[in-house]
Structure 1
């Protein structure tokens, strides 16, 4: 039986569709494999066989960050990394998070010169981390400082009274689980928290005194929570020079690092396959990859900080009109 013309046309359309979807499937698989390779081996690929300056960005609110600590550990061991630039733009965060990164940076600095390049902000735990480096470069209008520690807790007792909620509790001792947002704070509770804060404050001051060319008295005078512009910070010896990444590279050159080496950013690994795939597809399509930074851009990550904080969070940002 002769095949009708419309059947021939249908078969040709079907073949074209099948060919298109086969090509699309191969392209998607290639993107996924490439993204997976970048996620698993991206840092190692960046640092294998090619001498370079490693750049690590420390941005947003600082918390305990195992991935960042592991990345800094690999940088410390990499023979192709000749120098390190920490690009810092952070209001601070938890004292424990800052302490852990401080120690990791000092381990890197044992074998490689490390310089901090401050962007908009290096305050509180952000400045703590900057002080772990061997040299700090800041912009003239950068915000630097806010050396200090705080603990914040809400008091919702007034709200509870309005909605008719009463809390009953049985505990082993008066200071257990205090201060609590469900009870008015007592003098004993405030004294306990203040003693803890002052101990961590002394520790923070000690770090700055150890790392900066300042006496104990000078550090104490600067550690009243004040923030400074980059120019003021330079005058107060909280930073070493003014400028940007090029000035950081120039300082590395004084430590024997070839200034012509390429600066390669050691980026954060993505945590999930689905996010990785979405990120790869976004890049392939020329779209911005907002997933990892969306909450930080909103400032929502600071809401959930727990424990003692070394963070600077003014009501309004400083803007240049």
Structure 2
């Protein structure tokens, strides 16, 4: 037997690599089978049993929210979906993203009941998305409201002057270069941009007034950009009830005339990401060499390690 230390280490390394790739091949084969079965069943696991759909909106709302919009529309068209539990934990984001999500939730609410459960924050565009719901639940400490629009444009022209850099900017009209990072905002440009903000703000106020059945002037009094706690929002009529996700779920089950043990199915891209992670983790932990893959992924991606904990 060859007892050379280098040869022993090399042989051990080769065996480990072989085990790694064998485990990975088996895992991905099984995963492909699971995906094929899921697709054959239409992407769900509830069959034809009446159930609720749960959509989680977390983090900053982007300008492109088409995946979430598609998930809401698909749930609305599914006869076995009897209601939507919308979990919102977002500080807001793009006005366009908030608008399309708002419209999708409103369209769903015209056909089936929708309840919103607010997390630690559901403000600005996060609140815009919530207002079409039939009922809004918030925690006492939830930060919501912040009804308004903001546009920021940095100006580094003075910094460039200090370092001796001059930028020539050629535009087809006086408003084309407004705002500009390399030129100060002109009075005309400020007036033009304020008009854009005012128009978007008017849209925001209108959707809140429609969704909360409040006079527009009353909403304008509340819509100076400030956030409200859930307790404050309740007194102002911006939310309906102080309660948890479980409270919101029970309300929706009762409203949809479903039993208390009716299933709740996660929908949307966030649910798909979590399902993939669950499947991969479960598969890799059950095949030879899987523990190596899990350790490697933990070392490479701290977020995955935190999620597994």
TM-score (norm 2): 0.79
Partner of 1:130: 130
Q: CA deviation at 1:230?
A: 0.6
Partner of 1:32: 31
Partner of 1:54: 53
Alpha-carbon distance in 2 for matches of 1:105, 1:30: 38
Change (3 A) 1:282 1:44: closer
Query: After superposition, where does 1:80-91 map in structure 2 within 5 Å?
Result: 80-91=80-91
Aligned residues: 280
RMSD: 3.6
Q: Runs of 5+ in structure 2 lacking a partner?
A: 1-14, 286-293
Change (3 A) 1:116 1:276: closer
CA contact (8 A) 1:54 1:265 kept: yes
Q: CA deviation at 1:48?
A: 2.9
Q: CA deviation at 1:177?
A: 2.8
CA contact (8 A) 1:39 1:270 kept: no
**Superimposed CA distance per residue, residues 288-309 of structure 1 (whole angstroms, 9 cap, x where no aligned partner):** 9999996xx9xxxxxxxxxxxx
Change (3 A) 1:242 1:285: farther
Partner of 1:235: 235
CA contact (8 A) 2:24 2:284 kept: no
**Superimposed CA distance per residue, residues 220-244 of structure 1 (whole angstroms, 9 cap, x where no aligned partner):** 1110011111111000000000111
SS for the counterpart of 1:93 is: coil
Alpha-carbon distance in 2 for matches of 1:292, 1:271: 19
TM-score (norm 1): 0.76
SS for the counterpart of 1:252 is: helix
CA contact (8 A) 2:145 2:226 kept: yes
Q: CA deviation at 1:266?
A: 1.4
CA contact (8 A) 1:72 1:108 kept: yes
Alpha-carbon distance in 1 for matches of 2:69, 2:194: 30
Pair 1:220-2:224 in alignment: no
Q: CA deviation at 1:109?
A: 1.3
CA contact (8 A) 1:43 1:267 kept: no
CA contact (8 A) 1:153 1:181 kept: yes
Partner of 2:140: 140
**Superimposed CA distance per residue, residues 41-92 of structure 1 (whole angstroms, 9 cap, x where no aligned partner):** 7873135322211100001111121111111111111111111100000000
Partner of 1:260: 261
Partner of 2:6: none
Alpha-carbon distance in 1 for matches of 2:242, 2:271: 33
Q: CA deviation at 1:194?
A: 0.3
CA contact (8 A) 2:67 2:268 kept: no
Partner of 1:45: 44
SS for the counterpart of 2:83 is: strand
Partner of 1:304: none
Q: CA deviation at 1:210?
A: 0.7
Alpha-carbon distance in 1 for matches of 2:301, 2:77: 27
> Which deviates more, 32-41 or 157-166?
32-41
Alpha-carbon distance in 1 for matches of 2:38, 2:96: 27
Alpha-carbon distance in 1 for matches of 2:265, 2:180: 47
Change (3 A) 1:220 1:39: farther
> Which deviates more, 215-224 or 88-97?
215-224
CA contact (8 A) 2:233 2:239 kept: yes
Higher helix share: 2
Alpha-carbon distance in 2 for matches of 1:283, 1:235: 46
